[in-house]
Structure 1
Amino acid sequence: MFRNLDAEQARCSYTNQQMADLIGISRVSYENKKRTGKFTAIEAKKMCKIFKVKFDYLFATEPD
């Protein structure tokens, strides 16, 4: 759903488990939220900080 999130995660070689640990949720929850886009504001802010990028970049969606 979020290609830039996927790209940043791959660039940093983080697994879904590592990302989940970094933002404080389970791997299953992370994978579900990544698929649905339903991250909380706190989780999204943590990920922006981890990757040192702005929210608009990290959570950009592909045009319909």
Structure 2
Amino acid sequence: APAQTGNNYARRLTHGHAVIIDPWGVILADAGEKPGIAIAEINPTRLEQVRRQMPSLQHRVF
């Protein structure tokens, strides 16, 4: 979830906190209020587990 931070165009103050959240709502990384980057590890084992529990890719229609 990207988010701007700081004073934009001297008219709008934004609070930042760009985050990376896993499919179950666990916050994996938070960029905070200052300009920066949020980085999170992709764990292949966890990815397999989530895909088994939430098989949304099987619902794709081409």
Relative to the length of structure 1, the TM-score reads 0.30
Higher percent of residues as strand: 2
**Greater C-alpha radius of gyration:** 2
Q: Choose between structure 1 and 2: higher helix proportion.
A: 1
Q: TM-score, normalised by structure 2?
A: 0.30
